[in-house]
Structure 1
Amino acid sequence: MNIKDEIGVIGIDDAPFDKNDKEAILIGTYCRGNRIIDGIYFKRIKRDGMDSTEKIIEMVMGKHKTKINVIFLDGVTFGGFNITNLYEVNEKTGIPVVAVIDRMPNRQKMMDALKKHFDDYEERISLLKSFPEPENIEGIYVQYVGIKRELLNLIIKKTRLKSKIPECLRISHLIGRGFLDLITERNEG
């Protein structure tokens, strides 16, 4: 299997937010391979809402849609417990979706928190349970839809630079960390 060095991928993460914020910001970085950044995207989502799926689909269906081969997500939750439906993103975009997690998640702890804080916890728990079990590929845990393990393994290798995770996801994370200063300024002001 041969994959070009400049394979198009997008990495999506959220910016840190304050506990009083009603919204969070999704950050998408479109890269070709592991070195060329060709687009940065932002979308607002409701903190603890259920709109991350539609906002990710909107982001992916933009300018670079025809060039994106894989959508990498930083986990399955954004803006607190705004859970992204991996299957729906894959179905509506036609692009494989891969949730990257740095360590095996404690699903029971997540489900307990959902029961404690959300009226619609049954729907959220059902969605979490529907996702594939995390698998270790190349030193990271992934949950993936719409792609075979062997191909994903090759794409992860092609899209990393100096980190275990694909560069597009690392860059989105770095951009998100830059928002911390704004949160700190707002809270001090």
Structure 2
Amino acid sequence: MTSLPPPGRTLRAIGFDDAPFERGRRGRVGLAGVVCAGTRFEGLVWGTVRQDGWDATAVIVRLLTAGKFLPQLHLVLLDGLGFGGFNLVDLPALAAALDRPCVAVMRRPPDLEAVEAALVRLPRPGRRLALLRAAGPVHRLGGFCFQVQGAAPEAVAAALPRLTDRGAVPEPLRLAHLVGTAIRTGESGRRA
């Protein structure tokens, strides 16, 4: 497991969130990645994933391995496991490919019954369910709800407040949400 820099040293993370999209269109969905040092904005990456597709993990890996930010990152944060609907990230594979702890942060624990009911309407529901399970247990620690691969849950729970300005959403994720919304709609949204 990777150790994170102790308090007093700068913690750098990237947060990924998808842009708003129309359900049922099956097109490409924007994906914003915002790099922060603590809570200070430092950079941005942009890509697209297929709505309800299978490329989210590969897109994130490509955005980071082909760019300049990966060597300085300590954490990779995701706004949940799914982008563009149910294009689910393979969290263990992402952590292994990037050699960084990867954390799916949620505002609240997922309603697994509702998720499973939605999955059966999509191609290969068994594979999607396996990706959800492979991400590991949902932890509720330090005021955050998350799944993690590549680091101890307690270390992540101690690190997330260092990336959070206010509330329970780390700044890289909050800014990624605002960027994705602005690019898609022309202005940032209220809720981040």
Aligned to 2:50: 46
Paired residue secondary structure (2:145): strand
**Alignment counterpart, residue 91 of structure 2, candidates 83, 86, 89:** 86
Residues 6-155 of structure 1 correspond to what in structure 2 (within 5 A)? 6-19=10-23, 20=25, 22-35=27-40, 37-61=41-65, 62-115=67-120, 117-155=121-159
Aligned to 2:190: none
Going from structure 1 to structure 2, the CA distance change for 1:4 and 1:66 (only over 3 Å counts) comes to farther
Is the Cα contact below 8 Å between 1:57 and 1:89 reproduced in 2? yes
Alpha-carbon distance in 2 for matches of 1:6, 1:168: 14
Q: Deviating runs (4+, > 2 A) in structure 1?
A: 1-6, 179-183
The yes-or-no answer on 1:171 pairing with 2:143 is: no
Alpha-carbon distance in 1 for matches of 2:184, 2:59: 22
Which is richer in helix?
Answer: 1
Deviations 1:53-103 (A, max 9, x none): 000111222211110000010000000110000001001110000000001
Tell me whether 5-14 or 23-32 shows the greater mean CA deviation: 5-14
Residues 150-161 of structure 1 correspond to what in structure 2 (within 5 A)? 150-161=154-165
Rg larger for: 1
Tell me whether 173-182 or 21-30 shows the greater mean CA deviation: 173-182
Alpha-carbon distance in 1 for matches of 2:77, 2:35: 10
Tell me the TM-score normalized by structure 2: 0.88
Alpha-carbon distance in 2 for matches of 1:153, 1:5: 16
Alpha-carbon distance in 1 for matches of 2:160, 2:59: 24
Number of corresponding residues: 181
**C-alpha displacement at 1:180, in angstroms?**
4.9
Deviations 1:136-183 (A, max 9, x none): 122221000111123212211211112312111110011122245259
Alpha-carbon distance in 2 for matches of 1:7, 1:140: 17
Alpha-carbon distance in 1 for matches of 2:78, 2:153: 16
Alpha-carbon distance in 2 for matches of 1:118, 1:157: 36
Alpha-carbon distance in 1 for matches of 2:139, 2:13: 20
Aligned CA RMSD, in angstroms, stands at 1.7
Is the Cα contact below 8 Å between 1:76 and 1:99 reproduced in 2? yes
Is the Cα contact below 8 Å between 2:107 and 2:145 reproduced in 1? yes
> Identical aligned pairs, as a percentage?
28
Gaps of 5+ in 1: 184-189
Alpha-carbon distance in 1 for matches of 2:52, 2:132: 14
Tell me the TM-score normalized by structure 1: 0.89
